[in-house]
Amino acid sequence: MSRKLILGIETSCDETAAAVVAGGSDVLSSVVSSQIEIHQRYGGVVPEVASRAHVEMMIPVVADAMVEAGVEPADLDAVAATVGPGLIGSLLIGVSAAKSLALVWDKPFVAVNHLEAHLYASFLEEPDLPLPLVVLLVSGGHTMLVLMEGHGQYRLLGETVDDAAGEAFDKVARYLGLGYPGGPVIDELSNQGDPHAIAFPRAMMKDGYNFSFSGLKTSVVNHVRKNPDVEAADVAASFQEAVVDVLLTKATAAVREHDAVGLCLAGGVAANSSLRERALDVAAELGVRAFVPSRSMCTDNAAMVAAAGWWRLQSDGPAPLDQGASSSLRLPTL
Ligand code: KG4
Ligand code: ZN
């Protein structure tokens, strides 16, 4: 394994992040400047505000990542950045910064798919993960079940037909008046509630590997409207239980059907306490290994971008400097 040093840059949504990773898994620094406080007053991410904050934070965050890692530009082997999917204005800030640095420092530029970066978060902590793996990628913008057969070799088994799991957490939290982002608040509040208090629907349980969360969100709203005195903690816990049930039922079926040797979680929702605990139980029952990245590697960060960039540099080589950004980039599948 080469010890190539990659500077990763991530600006696809509301986190300005930079990291230096050696050899695809040795994290020398990982700096994340979150814009949560800026967007909280609007109840969600405002794209134009996010872009402006990225412009302000980009250079200081890169400088911090380089200083923390103790490396000079000359030590780097490449600069990698997320080129999509995400908010186009935000993506362009990171891509432009990465290309400029690559040009000035005379280093190759590597284009990274944000979804692939999430898949690589597990490899930061477990570089020798055995394959094939079923990865449950659950974030604010995506919910997908991926069969990872090899590096860069993905089969998309299923995805959400409407809201992403994280989006459902955020919308339910907003409806309950719990603020933004919803995932962490619902996670916390659920500790005080009864996950079996309300029987919310589990959609598409027998329909293959696709997911649907928009009906669940509507059920929560209807239930609270009809029962205004219901305990918010019971609503949160029962909602979370329904989401986790669906996610893990489908992930279990995918591991069985494809004889996967491991089950991996990725994306911001993988920071959820109940999902993490139950994924470990499910993997133990299935007799496969479970890989659950640490919480800071589940939510958006640049270490995962550098890790994916390291693999992409070896398999595809550098990207041209006229590489653009794409808000709707798909995971490259087989
Ligand atoms: O991966 P991520 O940081 O950004 C995207 O690429 O979308 O995911 C953000 C999403 C948000 O919807 C947030 O509410 C959710 O991840 N999230 C959680 C938790 N922490 C973050 N959802 C459930 N439980 C959590 N503890
Ligand atoms: Zn993400």
- Which is nearest to 97 in space by CA: 65, 143, 130? 65
Q: Which amino acid is at 282?
A: V
Beta bridge partners of 82: 112
- For residues 11 and 117, what is the distance between their CA atoms, to the nearest angstrom? 12
203-223: pLDDT as tens digits = 999 889 999 999 999 999 999
pTM: 0.95
- C-alpha 265/C-alpha 289 separation (Å) is 12
Residue whose Cα lies nearest atom 19 of ligand 1: it is 183
Quick check: 253 pLDDT over 70? yes
Cβ(84) to ligand 1 under 6 A?
no
Measured in Å, residue 105 CA sits from the centre of ligand 1 at 34
CB of 317 closer than 8 Å to CB of 287: no
Q: How confident is the model at residue 62 (pLDDT cuts 50, 70, 90)?
A: very high
Residues 6+ apart with CB under 8 A from 234: 193, 194, 197, 198
**Neighbouring C-beta atoms of residue 286, cutoff 10 Å:** 18
Instruction: Name the pLDDT band for 148 (thresholds 50, 70, 90).
Output: very high
Given a cut of 80, whether residue 1 has pLDDT beyond it is no
Ion ligand 2 nearby residues (CB, 5 A): 139, 300
Of 34 and 276, which is predicted with more confidence?
A: 276
Q: Is 158 in the pocket of ligand 1 (CB under 6 A)?
A: no
Distance (Å, rounded) from C-alpha 193 to C-alpha 276? Answer: 18
Closest CA to 18 of 321, 329, 309: 309
